[in-house]
Amino acid sequence: MNQILEITPAELKARLESGEAVQMIDVREDEEVAAGMIPGAKHIPLGQIPDRLDEIEKTQETILICRSGYRSERACEYLTEMGYPSCVNLVGGMLAWT
């Protein structure tokens, strides 16, 4: 299996603060995102990703986000298998974001 690329919350914050347009997918469930999301992230719960691939730009880097980093890592693995070449996992997820 390929190594999953990772980004730290500090690295992502710096990129967002510099004005970089970043494709972010939050794979948490509805009740989790109700407590807050990273501005600019798109919400696609993990279980819906196979049915919503058309909403994810294939040629762009995709940063995946969940609560702790486990589900987003699974999403990275799945998307890589589906031909998405630039998937990146947010280390520590939203727990590390604050």
Structure tokens belonging to residue 25: 């997918």
CB 28 within 8 A of CB 71: yes
Gap between the Cα atoms of 95 and 82, Å rounded? 28
Q: 66 an active-site residue?
A: yes
User: How many CA within 13 A on the CB side of residue 90?
Assistant: 30
The dihedral over CA atoms of 75, 76, 82, 84, expressed in degrees to the nearest 10, equals 130
Which listed residue (63, 66, 79, 87) is catalytic?
66
Catalytic residues: 66
